[in-house]
Amino acid sequence: MGDGDTTLDAPAAAAGGGAKTSLTARAVDFPRWYQEVVARAEMADNGPVRGSMVIRPWGYGIWERLQWAIDERIKAAGAHNAYFPLFIPEAFMRLEAEHVEGFDPELWMVTRGGGRELEEPVVVRPTSETVINHFFAKWIQSHRDLPLLVNQWCNVARWELRPRLFLRTTEFLWQEGHTAHADEEGARAYALRILTDVYRDAMEEVAAVPVLVGHKTARERFAGAVRTWTCEAMMGDGKALQMGTSHELGQNFARAFDIQYADAAGGMRHVWQTSWGASTRLIGALIMTHGDDFGLRLPPALAPIEVVVLCVREDEAVRRAAGTLADELRHSGRRVHLDDRTDTGFGRRSVDWELKGVPVRVEIGPRDLGEGKATVVTRHRRTKELVGLSSVRETVERICGCAAAELRNEALAFRTARTATVASMAETLEAGVAGFARVPWRVVGDAGELELASESLSVRCLQRHDGGLAAGGEADDELVAVVGRSY
């Protein structure tokens, strides 16, 4: 911050004042605050069917940028995008017993079509392991066909008892990757590559959300998997959110769908598989990790608009100067919007942009222009500084260059403050209510998981004592359990 920086007064929403956010304070009622931000920032709305969601343009713009970041990393990992049907024969779901048992309570079934009862009901896609493996069995014949790495961006439908926009909805958007490999080592290496090089990297470097990585207990792992790897983040109320998962499927689906390949010696072998996914839940994570009592705070990489240039009041010279400045910022590669709607009060407009989390606001009025200056507001710090017009571009670059790191560091400090290392179940139950408890897994065990569940707590992941992945064959009883309440 420069010598002339000042912090915006609360609860005024912007330099110039004139309007207030009127959001419920996070410390007073976090769930209500979340709902108000989603609505007031024009992120999403409830759909006409219970649990469904309409993603509004501002929310979808953030999703598009998340998509691009994740998709770029998926392609760098060698996977190719494809598309598979929304409707899946019910018989496919029955082929892998653990899979269907895990998903049965969440399935949406279609029993009529064309005005008639269907001979066989079809399932509306809850996940695509079954239909994709049907085609893997056709496409894989030889070891030369491996590894087969595909990804699809699509929607899925799952019945939800307690829907909440972005976090748990009947229909949501996601990507799901599915791969087949010649051996277990190749499958595990790829599952971990997706976990770290795709998910963790995008979440921490682009979304600025620090995550813990580890594997799930048998109780918590994906239905049909032999091991589930996960990214877990702490939200602004201390609860955990599962951000993305990468599953080692072993040969369970390969045997169910008879996916075999001829090895170099001509022998027939079943493939080893992975599946992995991340969804629009990540938008909920952005809100709950970075949001404050004034709305969203977006990392520049995910903001549909990085800089908004506002005309404080109607003045032709101001309008021209603002337009010129907006063009200069666009030419520097920034996503810029010129807000010259002077028929709407400046305070109201400032509040709206602050709610939406635009990283930088540049405000120009007649007095500022007369001095050859503009006011630059940094959203994530809620500070303002008066700078010369010739320095606005440099100031914007400085703010956008540090915003993500500062948001990430703030979230990491919060997680650290809310994480306790404990040695007993009693301490675990107490610490897990406020945030995360790190406790030796041998202290918890299967019986302890049941006790945790009775208190609405769960083991979010298992890690090595140093926080690393237990990918080297460590026994679970040598590991640390991260315990917390979750969404």
User: pLDDT tens across 158-210, in order?
Assistant: 998 899 999 999 999 999 999 999 999 999 999 999 999 999 999 999 999 99
Q: Is 218 helix (H, G, I), strand (E, B) or coil?
A: coil
Residue 165, pLDDT score: 97
Residue 94, pLDDT score: 82
**Is 422:437 a contact under the CB 8 Å cutoff?**
yes
Instruction: From residue 35, give the alpha-carbon distance in Å to each of 25, 32, 208, 387.
Output: 12, 5, 22, 36
Q: What is the pTM of this model?
A: 0.94
Helix axes 30-40, 281-290, angle to 10 degrees: 110
Q: How far apart are CA 368 and CA 353, in angstroms?
A: 20
Residue 21, pLDDT score: 63
Per-residue pLDDT of 13-57, as tens digits, reads 344 444 556 899 999 999 999 999 999 999 999 999 999 999 999
Encoded tokens for 413: 């400090």
Greatest mean pLDDT among 8-12, 103-107, 307-311 lies in 307-311
Per-residue pLDDT of 249-278, as tens digits, reads 999 999 999 999 999 999 999 999 999 999
What would the mean pLDDT of 207-230 be, rounded to a whole number? 95
Please list, residue by residue across 48-80, b when 16 or more beta carbons sit within 10 angstroms of its beta carbon and e when fewer do.
eeebbbebeebbbbbbebbbebbbebbeeeebe
**35 backbone φψ class: left, alpha, beta (φ>0; ψ -120 to 50):** alpha
Helix axes 57-76, 281-290, angle to 10 degrees: 110
pLDDT at 62 over 80: yes
Q: How far apart are CA 322 and CA 313, in angstroms?
A: 11
- Continuous segment of H or E residues that includes residue 67: helix 57-76
Q: How far apart are CA 230 and CA 442, in angstroms?
A: 20
Give the total residue count for the chain. 487
Please enumerate in sequence order all residues whose Cβ is within 8 A of that of 342, keeping only pairs 6 or more positions apart, or say none.
311, 313, 314
pLDDT at 105 over 90: no
Q: What is the DSSP string of 388-450?
A: EGGGHHHHHHHHHHHHHHHHHHHHHHHHHHTEEE-SSHHHHHHHHHHSEEEEEHHHHHHHHHH
pLDDT at 144 over 70: yes
Q: How far apart are CA 425 and CA 436, in angstroms?
A: 13
Q: Is 54 helix (H, G, I), strand (E, B) or coil?
A: strand
Per-residue pLDDT of 302-331, as tens digits, reads 999 999 999 999 999 999 999 999 999 999
Radius of gyration of the CA atoms of the chain, in A:
25
Q: For all residues of the chain together, what is the average pLDDT?
A: 94
Residue 441, pLDDT score: 96
Q: Which one-letter DSSP state was computed for residue 456?
A: T
Per-residue pLDDT of 365-385, as tens digits, reads 999 999 999 999 999 999 999
pLDDT at 2 over 70: no
What would the mean pLDDT of 446-451 be, rounded to a whole number? 95
pLDDT band at 435 (very low <50, low <70, confident <90, very high): very high
**Is 371:389 a contact under the CB 8 Å cutoff?**
no
Which residues are bridge partners to 297 per DSSP? none
Q: What is the DSSP string of 169-192?
A: -SEEEEEEEEEEESSHHHHHHHHH
